[in-house]
A and B are shown apart, each in its own frame.
Chain A
Amino acid sequence: MDFLMGNIWLWGPITAVVIAAVITVNALVSVWLERKVSAWMQNRLGPMENGPQGILQTVIDAVKLILKEDIIARGIDRPLFKMAPYIVFGASFAVFAVTPLARGISPADLDVGVFYVLAISSFVAVGIMMAGWSSNNKWSLYGALRGVAQAVSYEVPLSIAVLTVVMAAGSMSLQTVCVAQDGGFWNWNGLALHRNPFLVGSFLIYFIASLAEVNRTPFDLPEAESELVGGYHTEYSGMRFALFFLAEYANMLAAGILASVLFLGGWQPLLPALDFVPGPVWLFGKAYFFVVVQIWIRMTLPRLRVDQLMYVCWKVLVPSALAMLVLGGLWQLMIQG
């Protein structure tokens, strides 16, 4: 095992292929989940035709997207336009590299794992900007501007909220963060009122900010379809659009994974006695719980306006995240010594 882990040339490609497979399958599953959950909440049935409960519908959609004509309109900045989906996809792809799957097992256990995730995921904004700018479409440009403004702004409360956890665990390695939440669900950061109640507040702030980071309702302004037609990906079609699509759902899962690692113990079982269930099952179970909650929120809430988006970030989330950080730190100093 150590040999394997040590040999980056062997381990790297295998990990990449596995992550790519996970992302693809995740997109299929998440899209299906989104359709089904929204249908159930709206007294509908959702896709029913292909496969039991329409589970193969997304496969067929994916095939359709791949077969579709790739339209590149005149007046478009072609190199940027073509590169943008890969950057967006690549960024969300790379986030998975540090996922702690089980005790001691991660594709790459970086010492600065948290830092890496935050840095890489904000790279998505660059892709969005490129897509919006190169499309030579006013709606795309609006979407891109909104997307970048939002990503940059929400990075702040998100990072501060994550910092609270890092402070509690004393490490930036995601593996260590998980290990620190050992011993049953009452010790998970997001639920451990007895250990550090301010982490629970951070949990809420983190979750709200992560919604904005992955452009989900109520913060889906970059692609607000009722305002901006399609936002930054208005001009995309076919496989390039599919990459944006994949990236969006990969981001949803990544946000879910990070939330479960930081606040719900990652691969930690619900109870220590349930240790026999493998770690990845727990991790993905929790991550998909967050994905479903994201869908659930999307089906419930309207969208914010662009100035309100900034208001929520700078006037609500940043101050409260800072408060959580300071109070959490004080708590740790005073109570835990």
Chain B
Amino acid sequence: MESRELFLHGSRVPDAGPDGELMTLNMGPQHPSTHGVLRLELKTDGEEVAQVRPHIGYLHRCFEKHCEKLTPPQIVPYTDRMDYLAAMNNNLGFAIACERMMGLEVPEKVEYMRVIVAELNRIASHLIAIGTFGLDMGALTPYFYCFRDREMILDIFEEVCGARLLYNYIWVGGLSHDFQDDTDDKILRFCDHFDKRLDTELNPLLSFNKIFVKRTANVGVMTPEQAWSMGASGPSLRGSGVDFDLRRDDPYSVYDRFQWKVCVGEGLMGTVGDCWDRHWVKVLEMKESVKILRQAVAARPKDGDVKEKVPTRVKLPAGEIYCRTETPRGELGFYIVSSGGNQPERVKVRPPAFCNLSVIDEISRGALIGDVVAILGSLDIVLGEIDR
């Protein structure tokens, strides 16, 4: 075990074998735990990994090219399809970027509802991240429990906007539908159910399971310096102990009105910034999201039209903007250039998972093949967003 610990702190990168040869192993594009179509080119010495070269682009769907030909309201459904596990957050990021360009103020009611759906979707997305992370570790059952709870969120979304995965709910200037009469109750009921389940079910079954801890603690340690330099964001950044969350530090919408705290990795089971910390930050963040949800549901104004400020014709003024929001995976940035026409000239997306994935080579040198799977799972990538 001691020698392994040495690798993990990066003091020893395995050399090529005695005869100077490393085996090239293609993990993916068809592989069960690459979370989509990712290819990792591993250079291995036995079970030890000397280098990881990610190859992306297998799911490239020309999002940025499409945007040149679409009006902003038409782009919103396309943003759904980038990070399909957190479509609300993507809609929100794009809508806010457009609204800032247009100087559009949306009604307070809409802001609160946006926060509610964004936080619900954050929980849903983290649930998948945690469930699939467990699945990568070989724990089958937490995955189903996560999906069961996520289903409640999807039901709420379906009731509100009619779709379960790709919502097209947050529009430039407003929302597509108002909540139904009993949506608030359903959200609160979900919060009660979920809070309880998290502590009595998911944590003892997965987070604190000794095997799980041993598999993830001290594995794939990302230092804060590495994280900043590689542009890691979201739970991957906070897992390294960096206290930074765009919702608090670069506030948008009405996040500054709620009482909540930014969760950071503390190295509870091993080193700060290991896979377990990244997992734990997600668990804690879900609890914070529940807190925000409770406050937002209580505080949200009930009257008013959610489409009141939706322009009949969305026309971005000439100029360029970079606008970033915090999705479950981290910093989602939209760089929009417009020359005042109906369609934006250029929409560049800065996907959080794109930058998070680029860290993988640095943090998995010297790990075992099983660790690479753990690291990949803990980084919580969505290929739809990386490849766009």
Question: A residues near B, CB below 8 A?
Answer: 38, 41-44, 138, 142, 217-218, 220-221, 224-229, 298-308, 311
| B137 CB-CB contact with A under 8 Å | yes
Contact, CB under 8 Å: A299 / B138: no
Residue of B nearest to A139 (CB): B25
Q: Chain B residue with minimal CB distance to A299?
A: B141
Q: Is the CB of A42 within 8 A of B145?
A: yes
Tell me which residues across on chain A come within 8 A of B144, comparing CB atoms: 42-44
A306 touches B370 (CB 8 A): yes
Q: Are B33 and A305 in contact (CB under 8 A)?
A: no
Residue on B with the closest CB to A224?
B138
B134 within 8 A of A: yes
| Alpha-carbon separation in the docked complex, A225 to B138 (Å) | 8
Name the A residues within 8 Å of B135 (CB-CB). 226
Q: Which residues of B contact A224 (CB under 8 A)?
A: 138, 370
Can you list 27 A-B contacts with CB-CB less than 8 angstroms, sorted by A residue number? A43-B148, A138-B23, A138-B25, A142-B369, A218-B138, A221-B370, A224-B370, A225-B32, A226-B32, A226-B135, A226-B136, A226-B138, A227-B369, A227-B370, A227-B373, A299-B141, A302-B212, A302-B215, A303-B138, A305-B214, A305-B215, A305-B370, A306-B47, A306-B369, A307-B4, A308-B214, A311-B1
The chain A residue with its CB closest to the CB of B373 is: A227
Additional 12 contacts, C-beta under 8 A, given A42-B140, A226-B138, A304-B211: A41-B141, A42-B141, A43-B145, A218-B138, A220-B138, A227-B369, A227-B373, A298-B140, A300-B141, A304-B215, A305-B214, A307-B4
Q: Which residues of B contact A300 (CB under 8 A)?
A: 139, 141, 205
Cβ of B368 under 8 Å from chain A? yes
Chain B residues closer than 8 Å to A301, beta-carbon distance:
138-139, 209, 211
Q: Which of B119-137 contact A (CB under 8 A)?
A: 134-137
CB under 8 Å from chain A, chain B span 175-225 = 205-206, 209, 211-212, 214-215
Assuming the A-B contacts A220-B138, A302-B134, A304-B211, are A226 and B145 also in contact, with contact meaning beta carbons closer than 8 angstroms in the complex?
Answer: no
CB-nearest residue of chain A to B34: A226
Interface range for B: 20 to 34
Report the Cα distance A26→B33, complex, angstroms: 31
Q: In the complex, A15→B275 CA distance in Å?
A: 52
B31 an interface residue at 8 Å Cβ cutoff?
yes
Give complex CA distance A221, B137 in Å.
11
Q: When chains A and B are docked, how far (Å) is the Cα of A299 from the Cα of B139?
A: 7
User: Could you mark each residue 66-99 of chain B with 1 if its beta carbon is under 8 Å from any beta carbon of chain A, else 0?
Assistant: 0000000000000000000000000000000000
Q: Mark B345-387, 1 if CB is under 8 A from A, else 0.
A: 0000000000000000000000011110100000000000000
CB proximity to A under 8 Å, residues B147-173: 148
Complex CA distance for A19 and B166, rounded to whole angstroms: 53
| Residue ID in chain A nearest B367 by CB atoms | A305
Shortest CB-to-CB span from B11 to chain A, Å, is 18
List A contacts of B145 (CB < 8 A).
42-43
CB distance from A190 to the nearest CB of B (A): 24
Contacts of A228 in B (CB 8 A): 369
Taking the nearest CB of chain A, how far is it from the CB of B220, in angstroms?
12
Name, among A44, A217, A220, A226, the residue most crowded by chain B CB atoms within 10 Å (CB to CB): A226
Complex: A303 Cα to B377 Cα, angstroms? 14
State the Cβ distance, A307 to closest chain B Cβ, in Å.
6
- The complex places the Cα of A226 from the Cα of B35 at a distance, in Å, of 10
Q: Is A303 a contact of B211 with CB atoms below 8 Å?
A: yes
Residues of chain B within 8 A (CB-CB) of A305 are 214-215, 368, 370-371
Q: Are A302 and B139 in contact, CB atoms less than 8 angstroms apart?
A: yes
Residues from chain A with Cβ under 8 Å of B212 in the complex: 302
B14 smallest CB distance to A (angstroms)? 14
Residues in B neighbouring A217, C-beta threshold 8 A: 138
B160 CB → nearest A CB, Å: 25
Please indicate which of the listed interface residues A298, A300, A305 has the most CB atoms of chain B within 10 Å of its own CB: A305
Contact between chains at B211 and A302 (CB < 8 Å): yes
Q: Is the CB of B47 within 8 A of A229?
A: no
B41 CB, min distance to chain A CBs, angstroms: 12
Closest partner residue, chain A, to B1 (CB atom): A311
What string of 1s and 0s marks CB contacts (under 8 Å) between B238-279 and chain A? 000000000000000000000000000000000000000000
| Of the residues A38, A142, A306, contact of B140 by C-beta under 8 Å | A38
Instruction: Give the residues in chain B near A298, CB-CB below 8 Å.
Output: 140
Give every chain A residue within 8 A of B373 (Cβ-Cβ).
Answer: 226-227
**Least Cβ distance of B221 to chain A in Å?**
16
Closest Cβ of chain B: how far from A101's Cβ, in Å?
Answer: 34
Q: In the docked arrangement, what's the CA distance between A226 and B369, Å?
A: 11
Q: With the chains together, A303 CA to B216 CA distance in Å?
A: 11
**Nearest chain A CB to B150 CB, angstrom units:** 13
Q: Give Cα distance in the complex from A125 to B211, angstroms.
A: 25
A47–B131 alpha-carbon span in the complex (Å): 22
Provide the bound-state CA to CA distance between A221 and B370, in Å. 9
Q: How far is the CA of A303 from the CA of B140 in the complex (A)?
A: 10
User: A311 vs B2: C-alpha distance in the bound complex, in angstroms?
Assistant: 12
Closest to A306 in B: B47
Cross-interface CB contact of A142 among B31, B47, B138, cutoff 8 Å: B47
Picked from B31, B205, B209, the residue with its CB within 8 Å of the CB of A229 is B31
Known: A302-B139, A302-B209, A305-B370. A227 touches B215 (CB 8 A): no
CA distance A218 to B134 in the complex (A): 13
Contacts of B134 in A (CB 8 A): 302
Closest to A218 in B: B211
Rounded to whole angstroms, the CA-CA distance of A218 and B368 in the bound complex is 17
When chains A and B are docked, how far (Å) is the Cα of A210 from the Cα of B4?
27
B6 to chain A, nearest CB (A): 13
How many Å from the CB of A150 to the closest CB on chain B? 13
| Minimum CB–CB distance for B135 against chain A, Å | 6
Looking at the assembled complex, report how far the CB atom of A46 sits from the nearest CB atom of chain B, in whole angstroms.
Answer: 12
Residues of B within 8 Å of A138, CB to CB, are 23, 25
A307 to B370, CA, bound (A): 10
A225: B residues at CB distance < 8 A: 32
**Of B139, B212, B214, which is in contact with the most chain A CB atoms at under 10 Å from its CB?**
B139
Could you tell me if A227 and B148 are in contact, using CB atoms closer than 8 angstroms?
Answer: no
* Closest chain A CB from B206 CB (angstroms): 8
Minimal beta-carbon separation of A194 from chain B (angstroms):
32
Complex: how many Å from CA A311 to CA B33?
25
6 closest A-B pairs by CB: A303-B138, A42-B144, A302-B137, A302-B139, A226-B33, A305-B370
Interface string of B1-17 (1 = CB under 8 A from A): 10010000000000000
